[in-house]
Amino acid sequence: MIPGFTGGTLDRADRIRHDSEAFAAAAGDWRAKLLKLENFEPELDEAGQLGWTSLADAPDDAELVLLGLDGDKPHFAAFTPGMRAPAGRSMRLFGLLDRFAPGEAATYAAARSVLDWHSRHQFCANCGTQTVMFRAGWGRSCPNCHAEHFPRVDPVVIMIAEHDGRALLGRQPAWPAGRYSALAGFLEPGESIEEAVAREIMEEAGVRVSNVRYIASQPWPFPSSLMMACVGMAEDDRITLDTNELEDAIWVPREEVQRVLAGGEGSFLAPPPYAIAHTLLEAWAKG
């Protein structure tokens, strides 16, 4: 299994992040590349490869974030004051998500998430002073209280309950007609992954689960989550729906899930291949 937004090919070069001289040398390398982004959206060629340009095209007020090395060639993203990620995802971006060549989506996910973090964390959470970028763009430091802040990742569990060879799927009203997917929710402080899975399924569908097992994970750059896919065994199949969370929930037999994932017809529309929910359903469908 290779979930979407994984399999990045750049060396993240942590050694350069700790070395200001090495970072300056990378930024001065004539071969260095700058990721092309327009309103946080990438440029892709016909082969699904990301578009890059030279650092000469970076705005004068841009700060560089080192994404990593391809061999020994540095690759950067540019943060400019006032950058703000759009609240939603455009139809153009939805179309691009199906077109990424292997590994390219991972590079985009890293760039989008860290730039979005910079845009929303300009001030110190400790004293309120405006912070400055450091560590090759992978941190911000406070010149007043000297606190250091680093890009955050929000952990999310995404899961299906299994009962008698069937998977529990739900849908939200904003989704395309007929789409059903795995249930999901953020981990809360003081909670394990297994406990969060059981709580979320109980809260959203009223189904009690145990024997939770982990399947796979995926970074989700909207804005910066780590999706952890799991399966839990349900004690029974009675559904008590929380309509604040879900519009509907259904039990789907394994044979139907297999058929829908293979492109056949069924009672639901599967999540897109780049989503970890699709990977989770594939893993479950294969037993």
pLDDT in tens, 187-223: 999 999 999 999 999 999 999 999 999 999 999 999 9
Q: Does residue 148 lie within any of the structural domains?
A: no
Residues 158 and 116 in one domain: no
Residues 191 and 261 in one domain: yes
pLDDT in tens, 89-138: 899 999 999 999 999 999 999 999 999 999 999 999 999 999 999 999 99
Q: Does residue 140 lie within any of the structural domains?
A: no
Residues 206 and 97 in one domain: no
The pLDDT of 240-262, averaged and rounded, is: 97
Q: Does residue 133 lie within any of the structural domains?
A: no
pLDDT in tens, 147-166: 999 999 999 999 999 999 99
Name the amino acid, one letter, at 25: A
Counting the structural domains of the chain, the total is 2
237: pLDDT strictly greater than 90: yes
CATH number, residue 168: 3.90.79.10
198 CB contacts (<8 Å, ≥6 apart)?
A: 208, 209, 210, 212, 232
- Phi, psi for residue 154 in degrees, rounded to 5: -95, 120
Residues 109 and 172 in one domain: no
Q: Does residue 145 lie within any of the structural domains?
A: no
Task: Please identify, among 122, 140, 168, the residue that sits at the C-terminal boundary of a domain.
Answer: 122
Residues 104 and 223 in one domain: no
Residues 30 and 117 in one domain: yes
Residues 186 and 117 in one domain: no
Domain span holding position 166:
154-285
| pTM of the model as a whole | 0.94
CA distance 74 to 10: 9
Residues 218 and 272 in one domain: yes
Residues 112 and 163 in one domain: no
Residues 199 and 105 in one domain: no
Token digits for 201? 């399924």
CA distance 151 to 201: 29
CA distance 189 to 176: 32
Q: Does residue 21 lie within any of the structural domains?
A: yes
Q: Does residue 166 lie within any of the structural domains?
A: yes
